[in-house]
Chains A and B, each alone.
Chain A
Amino acid sequence: MEFTHENNHYELLDVSPDASPQEIRAAYVRAKATFQKDSLAIYSLMDPSEAQEMVAKIERAYQILSHPDRKRAYDRDFLSNPNADMDSRAASPFAFGATRDKVISIDRVPPMESSLDDELLVPPTTDYTAGAARPEPHRMEALSAAESPFDITPRQPRPTASEAPESRLAPPAAEPSAIDLEQVEEWTGEQIRRIREARDFPMERLVEITRIRRSYLNALEMDDFAKLPAPVFVRGFLQQVARELKIPADRLVPSYLERLEKWTQSRKSR
């Protein structure tokens, strides 16, 4: 994140832009614990001044993101100059969606500001991201909730096309022809959904592959703009979805974003 987005506070704290205040706080505590002076995880990698600098950045990010007004102002500024960021984002190694392991344990809470203490007592391995995939407390081995290595399946030879067993069983649905895609003038969520279904691409798989939250993907397909994050992120989502569903991104993305923009304008003017 430092590479391109010096000032992206969300990436600095490793939270998604729609994270709850509690998530932001937990991420802040974890980030700070990671870069504190005695942290094992920075040993030999960063010298004290570098680590200090990082902690300062984390503090700055938290000061803004923890304060509703400042956060709103920051979000607005961030959006007002999206071009600075958008193109690099698509190729960014720090792309969003990789905030799966929001695990924080009370063990990790460093002895620091007492002002925070009352809210720091987060139970161990609380995963805010995915209620369904949340590991049971006694199965602490489950490290990354979304794609846990720890679900044991019976030993069997590798199925060659395990990715898409349903597509082999069901007769292949009619591929949306190139002409179909060409004819689309205005791209809506409905179009995306139709193509996804025609491609026999279950939502679960899209969630798994893109690592975009289901709620966002649903909102995308339903044109539920109010539930979508800032356009800069929507752009990234659309590019990923386009890639997976083999929709030409150069057609889908601008068209969709234009509709989103219109909607935002109309809401502002009201």
Chain B
Amino acid sequence: MEASDTSAEWNIPEWSIDPFSTAGQPSISRVREIWAIGGGKGGVGKSLISSSLGISLSRMHQKVIAIDLDLGGANLHTTLGVDLPQQSLSDFISGRTADLKDCIVPTTIPNLSLISGAQDAVTVMHLSNEQKTRLFEAFRKLDADYLIFDLGAGTSAHTIDFFLAADVGIISMLPEPTSIENAYRFLKSAYFRKLRGCPQLKNVASLIDTAMDSKNEQGIKSPADLFREVNAVSPEAGMRMKEQIARFQPKLILNQVRTQTDIEVGFSVKGVSKRYFGIDIDYVGYLDYDTTVWQAVRRKRPFVTEFPNSRLVGSIDRITHYLFKKGGAVKPTDL
């Protein structure tokens, strides 16, 4: 576990009571949708997928801003072929820059711009709740159709909050044990934090906290155990819990697949998540292992523009179209 997973940081601040409060309210939000790419582990292609989805969307005539939220380890600008920008999120968070707009830097790709991540992790580690609220409000008001959040590795509370605040949460995973382990840890953190942030579940908050500690003494091992306990306390809370679960619909992209068996791992993860967490993960696609990507990365050029006719870019485009069409809205029929 990361050092940041301390219980103090996991205290649920008031602002996050419903991180979705601004979602789907066009009156407040200029931005149509926020897509967040996370996945727990480093090196699973979060930045590359972020920049590729961003480029793909921008080519569909959408105004896109890619935002590097890999706080402390920002390198999204490199995957987009942009030099390290002068202005970054740190400036906005610290108040040096009053308007988030001033942190936007253009890229060489039409319709696509970038907000670089904080360079110094310290500013971000101590993000206060007010700062976070201010940040989210500023995000939603940006002049763009889509925002792409490139999340950092790990499961720090900030990262999970950014993931949950997005309309579409995408988990990038490799068909490898280490990546799967971290992806599940990420999923678990997001899952419990989502439940924990639900005001109607306040009276069972201590139970959820217990379940979050995997070595708890009450023997609450799985979400199903938790549900049983919650239901025993209050059937009303049980219903709320189910509602929250139904609203949690992360997407899955399997990266660097080499074989048919690799591809099928995505379906298995989907099946396990359904039975274990009770959630419907949408397995939106997979990306081939492709060495040309590494060539592009070395040249500091986005591979989407470098190899527009490759299979990989075809897959990215298909995933983008799918997500674009489907969007992040949870259909009432799913509830």
Contact = CB atoms under 8 A, between A and B. Distances in A.
Interface string B48-88: 00000000000111100000000000000000000000000
A266 B33 CA distance: 53
B60 A44 contact: no
Interface in B158-197: 175-177, 180-181, 184-185
A121 interface: no
A148 interface: yes
> Chain A's interface: helix, strand, loop or mixed, by majority?
loop
> Chain B's interface: helix, strand, loop or mixed, by majority?
helix
Interface string A74-112: 000000000000001001111100100101010110000
Given A40-B268, A44-B181, A149-B323, A91 B246 contact: yes
Contacts, number: 148
A143 interface: yes
A40 to B, nearest CB: 6
A244 B332 CA distance: 9
A135 to B, nearest CB: 12
Contact of B221 (A50, A141, A157, A158): A50
Interface residues on B, range: 35 or more
Contacts of B322: 147-150
A157 B314 CA distance: 19
Interface residues on A, range: 35 or more
Contact of A158 (B62, B268, B285, B332): B62
B335 interface: yes
A3 B242 contact: yes
B62 A93 contact: no
Given A91-B246, A143-B283, A144-B283, A41 B333 contact: no
A29 B148 CA distance: 38
Interface stretch (A31-39, A167-175, A189-197, A254-262): A31-39
B261 A152 contact: no
Interface of A: 1-4, 12, 14, 30-31, 33-35, 39-46, 50, 54, 88, 91-95, 98, 101, 103, 105, 107-108, 124, 140-141, 143-144, 147-153, 155-158, 162, 209-211, 240, 243-244
| 7 closest A-B pairs by CB | A149-B322, A41-B268, A44-B181, A150-B318, A93-B246, A2-B224, A3-B227
28 contacts: A1-B274, A30-B271, A34-B268, A40-B176, A40-B268, A42-B272, A44-B177, A46-B272, A91-B239, A91-B335, A93-B242, A93-B279, A103-B264, A105-B261, A107-B260, A108-B268, A148-B322, A149-B321, A149-B322, A151-B318, A152-B321, A155-B60, A155-B61, A156-B60, A156-B61, A158-B60, A240-B333, A244-B333
